[in-house]
Amino acid sequence: MNTEFRIEKDSMGELQVPADALYGAQTQRAINNFPISGLVLPPAFIKTVALIKQTAAKANIQLGVLDSTRGETIIQAAEQIIQGKHAEQFPVDIFQTGSGTSTNMNVNEVLAHLASESCPEAVGANDHVNMGQSSNDVIPTAIHVSTAIECQRQLLPALDHLAETLEAKAIACRDYTKTGRTHLMDAMPMTLEQELGAWAQQIRNGIARVSGALPRVQKLAQGGTAVGTGINAHPEFAALFADTMTEVTGIAFSPNESFFESLSCQDAIVELSGQLKTIAVSLMKIANDLRWMNSGPLAGLGEIELTALQPGSSIMPGKVNPVIPEATAMVAAQVIGNDATITIAGQSGTFQLNVMLPVIAYNILQSIEIISQVSISLADKAIADFTVREDNLQEALARNPILVTALNPIIGYAKAAKIAKSAYKQGRPIIDVAEEMTDIPRGELEKILEPKHLAAGGVN
């Protein structure tokens, strides 16, 4: 294909840029320099950078340092990006300059181009769109703002939905008693309500962990400019910017107490990523328990039956697999890997600037996105509608020799162990063997060894 070009200039000279591109020379240099992965920063991040430019323009107009003619056209141009338009104009690879300067300038150039189309005065990418800003405070701010927005609008509601679904299913399963397991071996009885309630508590704890980390994420670098001193920004810019961002998003943002801290490190995101990793570990545990409980249908545990969603084999007819728990486990693995990347990237704050910002942005937003989506799938397509195989639960309970634990206070551990081993060896119900080997009446044994009674802790 023949591509038409135009000539753009930057501080390094002239460069050919596709004629229909809204970006300029600095973006083109990044395209030429970083043909690495084909991975670009997600739409949520680009929209947030545009939101930062829009908010900065509003603040600079109010402070009297940006004329309203240019400022209003920047605001209008930014709104187009915020609404998802021109997404193809942001092609810079995530593996780029560590400050994210290429992405900052990509957005600056696109906005300057769009604004200039409707402005009687020329709008400059550096002088007007980037007024009072530096890549060094814009990109950290974009990481924090996009992360906070996606957590509030996507992650926390999805986790709450999963927790509510688990809690509702737990109540629906409160009358089912099953064999508990430790070390994958038979243990004392418990109810399905208790088991699912534990999962729900894990998710509730995860919500609390994320909520506890967000106040530090909501502290912004904007106003620190190059190294944290605020050079070239109006003294009132940072506070006005944060107030305007709060008004627009409904999230309580404020300037960081130390811009030097917010430029030189990404500790708040490292902390939040650690909480997302903890949630991933919880999801992995829940997914694997579901897989075990669903295993079978004949040669496994067969305690529950997940809804069949798709054929499970290209060669074995009738096979159905636990696809949602499997997808959940893979998401958990990805998030754990993302956290390792963010941890290493977080260590790359050298003197006054972290220089792995784009990869931090990409990984934290991906973790939020995939946890959110898989939590909804897990709730709606696995938890909400699984059926309980009560026949299998009762069969296993009747033969569970560990029920003899309830007799320990009456006959002692050694005698109880003999009964358990004998029952297991003979394949007989524990109550029958206990009746033969003790002088405890059958009626009393029935009360002592009743699984529902034991699931309640043996409380009379």
At 304-339, the pLDDT tens digits run 999 999 999 999 999 999 999 999 999 999 999 999
Q: Is the confidence at residue 458, as pLDDT, over 70?
A: no
What's the average model confidence in pLDDT over 140-162? 98
Q: Do 338 and 293 touch, CB atoms closer than 8 A?
A: no
pLDDT at 1: 45
DSSP tag of 183? T
Supply φ then ψ for residue 102, to 5 degrees.
-65, -40
Q: Give the pTM.
A: 0.96
- 219-220 and 254-255 strand pairing: parallel
Question: Active-site residue 313, yes or no?
Answer: yes
| Share above pLDDT 90 across residues of the chain, in percent, rounded to a whole number | 96
The answer to which of 119-123, 130-134, 171-175, 400-404 has the lowest mean pLDDT is: 400-404
What's the average model confidence in pLDDT over 262-280? 98
Question: Active-site residue 113, yes or no?
Answer: no
What's the average model confidence in pLDDT over 354-373? 98
Categorise residue 38: left if φ over 0, alpha if ψ from -120 to 50, beta otherwise.
Answer: left
Q: Which residues contact 102 (CB under 8 A, 6 or more apart)?
A: 26, 27, 29, 30, 34, 92, 96
- The one catalytic residue in 11, 128, 183, 258 is 183
How high does pLDDT run on average in the chain?
A: 96
- The one catalytic residue in 313, 314, 348, 372 is 313
Residues 262, 350: Cα–Cα separation, whole Å? 13
What's the average model confidence in pLDDT over 420-431? 92
